[in-house]
């Protein structure tokens, strides 16, 4: 009985140490994605990423507010302001209740976030550009179906 409890304790401590090492590695990494698989260019394809839990999420917060706004009656005006002319975007956004971040690409002057819209099997691409005074701002929205 004691050997089973001791074995359990050893396995538990080893797992805890491995999780601790993984968290330290993730905290030191400046990459927003720790692992990525697939490609977001094909909505029916499978793309997923394991995101760094310590990444800067400011762009994601802005993108999520934009997604909420695209589901409102202001959608067409927002797209017009962003110089996006895809007429399907507003209708597709209104029929999708969920959006899941599946891809993120960070550059020094640009950033791209890709959200999967499961109800319509499409991907929403939100691009950001760096403004020297205020940081990253949304520069475009496109839909890949």
Residue 88 and residue 47 in one domain: yes
pLDDT in tens, 75-122: 999 999 998 878 789 999 999 999 999 889 888 899 999 999 999 988
Residue 66 and residue 131 in one domain: yes
Residue 92 and residue 127 in one domain: yes
Question: What CA–CA distance (Å, rounded) separates 1 from 6?
Answer: 9
Please name which of 122, 124, 43 lies closest in space to residue 78, comparing C-alpha atoms. 124
Domain region containing 112: 32-144
How many Cα atoms sit within 13 Å of 53 on the Cβ side? 6
Residue 111 and residue 126 in one domain: yes
pLDDT in tens, 46-78: 777 888 888 888 999 999 999 999 999 999 999
Question: What CA–CA distance (Å, rounded) separates 16 from 11?
Answer: 9
Residue 11 and residue 42 in one domain: no
Question: What CA–CA distance (Å, rounded) separates 39 from 45?
Answer: 7
**Is 29 a residue whose pLDDT tops 60?**
no
- How much is the pLDDT for 42? 62
State residue 6 phi and psi, 5-degree precision.
-65, -40
Residue 104 and residue 119 in one domain: yes
pLDDT above 70 coverage of the chain, percent: 90
Residue 85 and residue 137 in one domain: yes
- Structure-token pair, residue 92: 């597709």
Please name which of 126, 111, 122 lies closest in space to residue 144, comparing C-alpha atoms. 122
Residue 20 and residue 60 in one domain: no
Residue 59 and residue 13 in one domain: no
Residue 10 and residue 50 in one domain: no
- How much is the pLDDT for 21? 75
Residue 97 and residue 135 in one domain: yes
pLDDT above 90 coverage of the chain, percent: 44
Question: What is the number of structural domains in the chain?
Answer: 2
């Amino acid at each position: 009985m004691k050997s089973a409890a001791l074995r359990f304790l050893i396995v538990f401590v080893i797992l805890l140490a491995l999780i601790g090492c993984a968290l330290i590695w993730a905290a030191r990494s400046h990459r927003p994605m720790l692992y990525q698989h697939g490609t977001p260019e094909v909505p029916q394809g499978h793309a997923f990423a394991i995101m760094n839990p310590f990444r800067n999420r400011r762009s994601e917060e802005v993108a999520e507010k934009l997604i909420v706004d695209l589901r409102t009656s202001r959608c067409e005006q927002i797209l017009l302001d962003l110089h996006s002319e895809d007429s399907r975007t507003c209708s597709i956004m209104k029929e999708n209740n969920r959006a899941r971040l599946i891809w993120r690409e960070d550059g020094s002057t640009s950033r791209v976030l890709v959200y999967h819209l499961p109800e319509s099997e499409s991907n929403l691409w939100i691009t950001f550009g760096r403004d020297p005074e205020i940081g990253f701002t949304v520069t475009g929205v496109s839909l890949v179906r």
